[in-house]
Amino acid sequence: MFISGRGTFPAPRFHAGLALLASVTLAPAAAAQAPPPTTQETPPRTEEATLPPVVVTAPPPVSASSEVFIPGRDFELRPQGRPADVLRLVPGLVISQHQGGGKAEQYFLRGFDADHGTDVALFIDGLPVNLRSHAHGQGYADLHFLIPELVQRLDGFKGPYFVEFGDFATAGAFNFVMRDTVDENYAEAAGGSFATQRYLTLLSPTRDALKTLVALEYYRSDGPFTHPNGYERFNLFAKGKASLSEGMDLSLWGSYYQADWHGSGEIPARAVRAGLIGRFDAIDPNEGGNTQRANLNLDWRWRLDDSQLLAVHAYGTYYTLDLFNDFTFFLKDPQNGDMINQRDRRYMAGFDALYQHQSKPFDISLTSSAGFQYRIDTPQVVLATAVQRHQLARTQDVSIVEQSYSPFVKFDIVPLSWLRFVTGARGDIFDYHVQSLVNTTADDLNGSVTKARPNVKANLVLGPWYQTEFFANFGTGYHSNDARAVVANPALTALPTAQGYEFGVKTKAIPRTEITATYWVLDLASELVFVGDEGTTQAQGPSHREGIEFAMRVKILDWLTFSGDVTASRAELDSGGAVPLAPLLTSRADLTARLPWGLSSSVAMRYLGDRYADEGRHQTARGYLLFDFTARYRYRWLEAFLSIENLANTEYREAQFFFTSRLPGEPATGVPDIHYAPGNPRSVMGGLAVRF
């Protein structure tokens, strides 16, 4: 991905809007008139007056009604300290945390329980967040190395309709575009419920020819649990951007993230009902882990002339994770318990290259793009049994080299003022190499496999008529499967097809109101899933998903804005069973006031309906309705802020799963049950900030 006029490039859909710089030169009327045919002297010329530049931002061009563009202003009032909370503003996207704050969130979108990222692709300035062949699950996407205040905007793309996105971009793809500078240096200190603390500093030493940005964050929280989480997070970020010459820009940033935590895990509902534990207690309080991630991200753009652009994006990451989970307690090992340790050490690197050309054959506007994407992951993955975080024995220890090569072409055609057609194709070639050092399963995890697949995309835009546009979209995509699963059974699907289409409308016909409505369908072919908690593979059949989305944004008054959305979806396996945990109904609403005398405040609602927890539709994962309040007040250089989450103090379950576990004294075969991580009770966080 690349930085372009609207944001991340090569996707023209990433553009945040067209920026026009206008300098208006005024001269007196007398100077513009021809001199009279006399010998009189011409009046002296008045000095020209130049007004300062005026920046005009046009609405971003989109190619799907479900495409979203969320500026940083919309999430500056979000509760502090949880980067993934920004994603809650995307219609239909639900996230949940179920281990102390340090583990990657669980993502739900378009009928998918995308686990920790299997079917939702996340990027930061084009840097992939999802990790392939991860110790805990395919596509694991931990966003905690993102500092929310550094985000300039979030660009969101649902469905497999966008040629720039490949792996994991089935339900959707989302790119966080980072700031180049902050207008004012900023320092804050915050604290609140459950011994939560947060300290943040944002500095821009230079803002002219060389734009620089440095950020430092420390966060700590114990959570509401009987056994404190002790979650600590440290983030460091530094960025520089400059113009090397006319039309040539270079941007480079680096970041470092480190965290460690304890977690109470998913507790069995039967233990809480029987009074054996409270809802904030734990069966095994030794769950948790530690992780770190270092990133380097480079963007180079060269606009050769008004019609040609060459761009290169390169990135590198070093990543580690030590994760301890205990899902089944005493089902497999009645004496030592069932704690597992998952370890991941890897380097990841890659680059994207793009050439874009604008032309007008037969007076038809045509933007042609050709690109190539390469990525390599080199994880060493370990699965082991453990007791109180002490390893007992390794179940699996493998070294992986996974590479992908992805050429693509794209054409954006505007034959008529009311007709736009965007189409393209990409090829994806994956090379898997696995070497097993320890393997106690029956699978052979040694060997090399190469897999490839094509993908096609087509997007049609009609309008605008009366400030209304109509959209039709079709595309195929995929998510890759774990290298161990592919090598263990090369005959099974490695890159399962996701075929989607949608129809939608976006209108501003009503004054001060924007409304979008979308109907979508997404079919996923049979896939092979690697179960990291077991070290084995599991084949799943085809699935069908469809739904409707409705979103509205109303500027009620100049200082008062309402936004909200409702999403209903249905997800079924071809066998007729339900897709476990897939959302059926979600909703979100937000009323924000920004008063001219420095006070900004927001009241937000989010709703997740009851859903099926098993294929047979016998078990229910309970939904919830939550309200949050946030406010910020600024007076000159001083700013105060306050957030209250779960205003009604609702007792809810944030994450839920249905599986079999065993407590001491229960039958050896275990007991099938709902296991859940409780949501936080009412919590308060506030602080002060200075701008300088």
CA dihedral of 176, 180, 185, 191, whole degrees rounded to 10: 10
Query: pLDDT tens across 117-160, in order?
Result: 999 999 999 999 999 999 999 999 999 999 999 999 999 999 99
DSSP 261-313: EEE--PEEHHHHHTTSS-TT--S-TTEEEEEEEEEEEEEEEEEEETTEEEEEE
Is 50 exceeded by the pLDDT of residue 404? yes
Rounded Cα gap, residues 488 and 445, in angstroms: 5
Beta bridge partners of 656: 676
Return the amino acid letter for 489. N
Is 70 exceeded by the pLDDT of residue 4? no
Rounded Cα gap, residues 624 and 635, in angstroms: 37
Rounded Cα gap, residues 205 and 197, in angstroms: 26
Give the CA distances from residue 190 to residues 105, 187, 218, 643, 677, in Å, rounded to whole numbers and listed in that order: 23, 10, 10, 11, 26
Nearest CA among 192, 136, 55 for reference residue 641: 192
Query: pLDDT tens across 337-379, in order?
Result: 999 999 999 999 999 999 999 999 999 999 999 999 999 999 9
Rounded Cα gap, residues 291 and 297, in angstroms: 20
For 551, residues 6+ apart whose C-beta sits below 8 A from its C-beta are: 91, 515, 516, 517, 563, 564, 565, 566
Strands 172-178 and 120-124: parallel
11 band by pLDDT with thresholds 50, 70 and 90: very low
Is 80 exceeded by the pLDDT of residue 178? yes
51 band by pLDDT with thresholds 50, 70 and 90: low
Beta bridge partners of 592: 561, 602
The stretches of 87-221 forming alpha helices (DSSP H) are none
| Other C-beta atoms lying within 10 Å of the C-beta of residue 82 | 19
Q: Both tokens of residue 249? A: 């820009």
Radius of gyration of the chain (CA): 27
Per mean pLDDT, which range of 21-30, 251-260, 552-561 is the poorest? 21-30
Break the chain into its structural domains and give their ranges: 2-14+57-691
Higher pLDDT pick, 44 / 414: 414
Rounded Cα gap, residues 115 and 216, in angstroms: 30
Strands 340-359 and 380-387: antiparallel
User: Is cis: bond before 464, omega within 30 of 0?
Assistant: yes
Query: pLDDT tens across 514-539, in order?
Result: 999 999 999 998 765 556 566 555 66
Rounded Cα gap, residues 326 and 662, in angstroms: 11
Nearest CA among 630, 489, 464, 636 for reference residue 59: 464
Query: pLDDT tens across 654-677, in order?
Result: 999 999 999 999 999 999 999 999
DSSP structure class, residue 140 = B
Q: Both tokens of residue 590? A: 């937000």
Is 50 exceeded by the pLDDT of residue 213? yes
Q: Both tokens of residue 143? A: 């966003």
For 633, residues 6+ apart whose C-beta sits below 8 A from its C-beta are: 598, 599, 600, 639, 640, 641
Q: Both tokens of residue 47? A: 């000095």
- Collapsed DSSP state (helix, strand, coil) of residue 331: coil
The pTM is what? Answer: 0.91
Is 60 exceeded by the pLDDT of residue 24? no
Rounded Cα gap, residues 22 and 53, in angstroms: 6
Rounded Cα gap, residues 150 and 124, in angstroms: 11
pLDDT, residue 191, reads 96
Query: pLDDT tens across 468-477, in order?
Result: 999 999 999 9
Residues of the chain with pLDDT > 70: what percent? 89
Q: Both tokens of residue 415? A: 């034959």
| Other C-beta atoms lying within 10 Å of the C-beta of residue 27 | 12
Beta bridge partners of 225: none
Average pLDDT over residues 51-63: 61
Nearest CA among 57, 76, 294 for reference residue 183: 76
Rounded Cα gap, residues 123 and 106, in angstroms: 16
Return the amino acid letter for 508. K
Query: pLDDT tens across 81-100, in order?
Result: 678 888 999 999 999 987 77
Helices (H) and strands (E) counted in the chain, each on its own, are 4, 44
Residues of the chain with pLDDT > 90: what percent? 82
**What are the strands of the beta sheet with 112-113, ordered from one edge?**
94-96, 106-109, 112-113
**Mean pLDDT score of the chain, rounded to an integer?**
90
pLDDT, residue 75, reads 82
pLDDT, residue 168, reads 96
Q: Angle at the Cα of 647 (from 644 to 649), degrees rounded to 5?
A: 120
| Other C-beta atoms lying within 10 Å of the C-beta of residue 244 | 11
Average pLDDT over residues 192-216: 96
Is 50 exceeded by the pLDDT of residue 442? yes
Strands 49-50 and 390-416: unpaired
Nearest CA among 480, 488, 479 for reference residue 536: 488
Class level of CATH domain 2-14+57-691 = mainly beta
Nearest CA among 520, 290, 527, 480 for reference residue 375: 480
| Other C-beta atoms lying within 10 Å of the C-beta of residue 312 | 14
Query: pLDDT tens across 475-501, in order?
Result: 999 999 999 999 999 988 899 999 999
